[in-house]
Amino acid sequence: MAPALRRVGLQIFPDEVVAKGPPWDTTLCVRGTIHLETPAGETAYENRYVIWGRMSWGILREYEVYEDTQKSTALDEHLAAVGELDSQRRQSQLAVSGMTHH
């Protein structure tokens, strides 16, 4: 998924990371912002997110992402308009294996 995010230019910034528990059963929470600027420097997308996950021995086993879905829909519309949406979906489907995304 990360190469697809870089390709379209999404910038992801974690503001705070909290980890709790032993290495074999770690709860992880990440809060941050994500945005996309057009080549002209205009903001095409800006959102806040929270990722709540579970790790075991440094491997992310499951996670949930909370964000403003109306803003995410607007991002999909923007990517479709510039011809990136179908490509991004294919890359995301190939990259995510062995994880649960809610």
Q: Which of 10-14, 17-21, 85-89 has the highest mean pLDDT?
A: 17-21
Q: Is residue 102 in some structural domain?
A: no
φ, ψ at 60 (rounded to 5°): -70, 115
Q: Tell whether the model's pLDDT for residue 27 goes beyond 50.
A: yes
Asked whether residue 31 is assigned to any structural domain, the reply reads: yes
Amino acid at 26: T
**18 pLDDT more than 80:** yes
What does residue 99 show for φ and ψ, rounded to 5 degrees? -120, 150
Q: Calculate the average pLDDT of the chain.
A: 82
Question: Is position 40 within any domain?
Answer: yes
Three-class DSSP category at 58? coil
Strand, coil or helix: 92? helix
Pick the residue with more confidence: 74 or 59?
Answer: 59
Side chain identity at residue 66, one-letter code: Y
Question: Does some domain include residue 101?
Answer: no
Per-residue pLDDT at 72 exceeds 60: yes
* Predicted confidence (pLDDT) per residue in 41-63, tens digit: 888 899 999 999 999 999 999 99
Residue 86 has a pLDDT of 57
Range of the domain at 39: 2-96
Strands 43-56 and 59-67: antiparallel
Write the CA distances from 19 to 2, 5, 33, integer angstroms. Answer: 22, 24, 19
Q: What is the CATH number of the domain that holds 32?
A: 3.10.450
Is residue 79 included in any domain, yes or no? Answer: yes
Q: With respect to residue 90, please indicate whether it lies within any of the assigned structural domains.
A: yes
Distance CA 88, CA 73 (A): 14
As for how many domains the chain has, the answer is 1
